Amino acid sequence: MSWGSTYDVVVVGSGGAALAGALAATHRGLSVCVIEKTDRFGGTSAYSGGSVWLPGNHVLERQGVDDSVEKGLTYFSALVGDRTRSEVQRAYLETGPVVADFLENTVGIPLEHRPFPDYFDAPGRSANGRSIFAHPISAEEVGDRLDDIRPMVPADQFGIDIDRSMLDGGQAWIARMILALDASGRAELRLSTPVTALVQDEDGRVTGVVVTGPDGDRSRIQARAGVLLAAGGFERAPHLRAKWQDMPTADWSSSHPDTGSGDALTLAESAGAATDLLDQSWWCPATLFPNGHAAFTLGVRAGIIVDSTGRRFANEMLPYDRMGRAMRERMQLGHGDAFWFVFDNSFGDDLPAICVPAPGREELTAAGLWHTAGDIAELAAAIGVDSTALASTVRRFNEFAERGRDEDFSRGEDPFGRFFVGATTPEPCLRPVDGSQLHAVRLVLGDLGTKGGAVITTEGAVERPDGTVVPGLYAAGNSAASVAGPVYPGPGVPLGSGMVMAYRAVADMAD
Ligand code: FAD
């Protein structure tokens, strides 16, 4: 098959990493083709809060945040240690400010910092975090491109009408990057075009991709400088989740069922890539909905979370990945995959946490995912946990609440947990569960994407098991083994590391 078209750079996928890489290409004078498998751009990045973790960048400085690359590196390396290569960690952290500057001052995307604490008590932690966000953008400004952008989770997975007159978070990033690519005159963006194979020459160099276009026709697209795999992870591929992560289902991931299909992993492996961290995800608790989807749940403000034994097993106000890891540990210990968020009606009957979309009580009750009872025995019977154990758990927690100190899990002692309660001391984080009505809502182990994939160098080049690179092939975002290893250091590391490594990959292609 001959080449159907030719570009300098081919980018597979259209999330944050992909679009940042594509912009880096256009600004280096390279032609780029962004190829998206589904009928919408943005992937899971379009669902995201849009926080991008880049320590020591100019936006933080402008807004008076005391930070530096070295402080960020101290923090990051204290957590991740030698679980990933120190030179890749340094490459991410040192290039972060360069990418922030590029996006705002070269591309023209207005940026702002919003406070969101780092996730661990470690040297170099920033109480306000190091997140930057693209300014919201109006639908009017996005124009015809609006319909090409994957909408937020409530609309995309739950059929709920949402107001899209103003795009914020991940939506704003995707919209602004697409508009900038359109304006560049050097980018072609294709929808409904899965990349099905990589093309390699006799020396093993990746020279292009094979795609199936919207009309079903197969063709080959040549990439003169390189191919960037930024096609997300494999969170929605049941066989890969079962094989690598022993997950009972792929349905609890927050990603859309059509994205996160694991294509990038398959493509990288087909070219001889080494892989790593395949047992890892960006984990989170998730509220199970009747349609089988599970919604990312964070910012617990009251209540407790118990496992199938009726016991607490962690500080419910932990950052979501750390809570998810605690849930995963319970599952691995054989305690099953049913978790229950138990709370009372002291502050109303809504879930005392952030969950998008907010779960409807009636709908979840009808599906057996939300139970309400007048006392603990009745609630325990409804959710199938041992009544004595649940009663003892609630009693103990209420004693902690009275004393203002969680002796089991130190809830409320870390600024992250207090952030969502708006508290400065632990006491407001420890409200007793003793109202006249008790609720239990089913939680499962969810994720924001997998984080294992192709092993990459400091330049984002895909490595073979023998340490040589696959010439012409690069990976970033959840298609690459994460620089954060099995840790989620702070809000915006998935997008931040993906965007930076994509930027570095394209710089390497251009050299
Ligand atoms: P994606 O954004 O998933 O993009 C991959 C794209 O590749 C998809 O569009 C997919 O369809 C496409 N694709 C797949 N296979 C092919 C193929 N064969 N051919 C062509 N295209 C293909 N992270 C943060 O850093 N900050 C946050 O604030 C944040 N908030 C989040 C909030 C929510 C609700 C969720 C669900 C996640 C959040 N995350 C956040 C996590 C983050 O969104 C993801 O980890 C990140 O978006 C992954 O980016 P990516 O570029 O690797 O892949």
Phi, psi of 427 (to 5 degrees): -50, -45
Ligand 1 atom closest to the Cα of residue 477 is: 52
> Residue 402 corresponds to which tokens in the numbers above?
């009275």
Contacts of 148 (CB under 8 A, 6+ apart): 40, 41, 178, 191
Burial 106-133 (b: 16+ CB within 10 A, else e): ebebebebeebbbbbeeebbbebbbbbb
Cα(276) to ligand 1 centroid in Å equals: 19
Neighbouring C-beta atoms of residue 335, cutoff 10 Å = 16
**Whole-model pTM above 0.90?**
yes
Cα(165) to ligand 1 centroid in Å equals: 23
Provide DSSP, 12-39. Answer: E--SHHHHHHHHHHHHTT--EEEE-SSS
Euclidean distance between CA atoms 226 and 13, whole angstroms = 14
- Per-residue pLDDT tens digits of the chain, which is 511 residues long: 799 999 999 999 999 999 999 999 999 999 999 999 999 999 999 999 999 999 999 999 999 999 999 999 999 999 999 999 999 999 999 999 999 999 999 999 999 999 999 999 999 999 899 999 999 999 999 999 999 999 999 999 999 999 999 999 999 999 999 999 999 999 999 999 999 999 999 999 999 999 999 999 999 999 999 999 999 999 999 999 999 999 999 999 999 999 999 999 999 999 999 999 999 999 999 999 999 999 999 999 999 999 999 999 999 999 999 999 999 999 999 999 999 999 999 988 899 999 999 999 999 999 999 999 999 999 999 999 999 999 999 999 999 999 999 999 999 999 999 999 999 999 999 999 999 999 999 999 999 999 999 999 999 999 999 999 999 999 999 999 999 999 999 999 999 999 999 999 999 999 8
Euclidean distance between CA atoms 475 and 46, whole angstroms = 19
Phi-psi region of 2 (alpha: psi -120 to 50; beta: other; left: phi over 0): beta
Q: What is the 3-state secondary structure (H, E, C) of 410-474?
A: CCCCCHHHHHHHCCCCCHHHCCCCCCCCEEEEEEEEEEEEECCEECECCCCEEECCCCCEEEEEE
What's the complex ipTM? 0.99
- State the angle between helix axes of 16-27 and 169-184 in degrees (0 to 180), rounded to the nearest 10: 30
Cα(94) to ligand 1 centroid in Å equals: 23
Euclidean distance between CA atoms 391 and 378, whole angstroms = 11
Cα(451) to ligand 1 centroid in Å equals: 11
Neighbouring C-beta atoms of residue 372, cutoff 10 Å = 16
* Alpha helices (H) along 45-165: 58-62, 69-80, 86-101, 139-142, 153-158
| Four-residue CA torsion sign, 215, 216, 222, 223 | positive
Q: Indicate the DSSP class of residue 272.
A: T
Neighbouring C-beta atoms of residue 15, cutoff 10 Å = 35
Q: Is the CB of 489 under 6 A from ligand 1?
A: no
Pick from 417, 163, 442: nearest CA to 301? 417
Q: Do residues 231 and 37 make contact, with C-beta atoms less than 8 angstroms apart?
A: yes
pLDDT of residue 450: 98
Euclidean distance between CA atoms 139 and 152, whole angstroms = 14
Euclidean distance between CA atoms 99 and 93, whole angstroms = 10
Contacts of 41 (CB under 8 A, 6+ apart): 14, 19, 34, 148, 149, 150, 174, 178, 189, 191
Measured at the alpha carbon of residue 239, what is the angle toward residues 234 and 243, in degrees to the nearest 5? 90
Whether omega for the bond prior to residue 357 falls within 30 degrees of 0, making it cis, is: yes
Ligand 1 atom closest to the Cα of residue 40 is: 9
Q: Do residues 228 and 212 make contact, with C-beta atoms less than 8 angstroms apart?
A: no
Half-sphere exposure (Cβ direction) of 510: Cα atoms closer than 13 Å: 18
pLDDT of residue 386: 98
Ligand 1 atom closest to the Cα of residue 53 is: 25
> Residue 160 corresponds to which tokens in the numbers above?
């709920």
CA–chain centroid gap for 139, Å, is 24
Cα(45) to ligand 1 centroid in Å equals: 4
Q: Is the CB of 412 under 6 A from ligand 1?
A: no
pLDDT of residue 165: 98
Contacts of 15 (CB under 8 A, 6+ apart): 42, 43, 44, 45, 46, 174, 230, 232, 477, 498
Q: Is the CB of 222 under 6 A from ligand 1?
A: no
Cα(43) to ligand 1 centroid in Å equals: 5
The helix or strand, by DSSP H or E, that contains position 353, with its residue range, turns out to be none
Residue nearest to atom 53 of ligand 1 (CA): 232
Measured at the alpha carbon of residue 373, what is the angle toward residues 294 and 427, in degrees to the nearest 5? 75
Euclidean distance between CA atoms 255 and 232, whole angstroms = 10
Residue nearest to atom 11 of ligand 1 (CA): 259
Q: Is the CB of 253 under 6 A from ligand 1?
A: no
